[in-house]
Amino acid sequence: MELEIEHRFPPTPDSVAAARRSLGRLAGHVPEPLLSDLRLLVSELVTNSVRHARLGSKDVIELRVALSGDSVRLEVADPGPGFEATLRPPGPDGSSGWGLHVVDAIADRWGVDHRDSTRVWVEINRPSEPRKRPPGNRPGALSLLSCCAFLTT
């Protein structure tokens, strides 16, 4: 394991920014575009825990990032009831429901583990060159631009 980051956060909105900041230790270990992608993924996943997991004030959200060899693995876990790992259409007004679409557009692999808690895991291959893969290049995946189009309309 090249580098591992582990943090625990309370289930509050302030934890989203704190989780993003905790990735600062990756600077210099991964290219800046990949670090930006990881920050966006952490924001989406921690926000989902805060908003949807029905956590109490004594519950915690766990963040784990493992940098090894040719990939980065990111995990966000909480004791919430969990959910099915399926992409659903965004909300009717387009202002919510984009989180997992963003995850799917950026990640090389992702899923949900329900063993001890609800754990969303994401893996991104570490490129030897800066990432050039356009978001959403897999069949059925929405592009990151289409995920965020509601911001400009």
Structural domain including 16 reads: 3-151
Both tokens of 18, joined, read 């704190």
Task: Kindly report, residue by residue over 57-81, the tens digit of the pLDDT.
Answer: 999 999 999 999 899 999 999 999 8
* Alpha carbon 77 to chain centroid, angstroms: 11
Total tally of structural domains belonging to the chain: 1
The chain-wide mean pLDDT, for the chain, equals 83
Put residue 54 in one of left, alpha, beta given phi > 0 → left and psi -120 to 50 → alpha: left
Can you tell me the distance from the alpha carbon of 120 to that of 100, in angstroms, rounded to the nearest whole number? 10
pLDDT digit string, tens, across residues 67-116:
998 999 999 999 998 777 666 777 777 666 677 888 999 999 999 998 88
Mean pLDDT value of segment 106-130? 88
User: Does residue 27 surpass a pLDDT of 50?
Assistant: yes
Instruction: Report the CATH number at residue 40.
Output: 3.30.565.10
Instruction: Give dist(CA 63, CA 23) in Å, integer.
Output: 10
Say how far apart CA 50 and CA 108 lie, in whole Å: 24
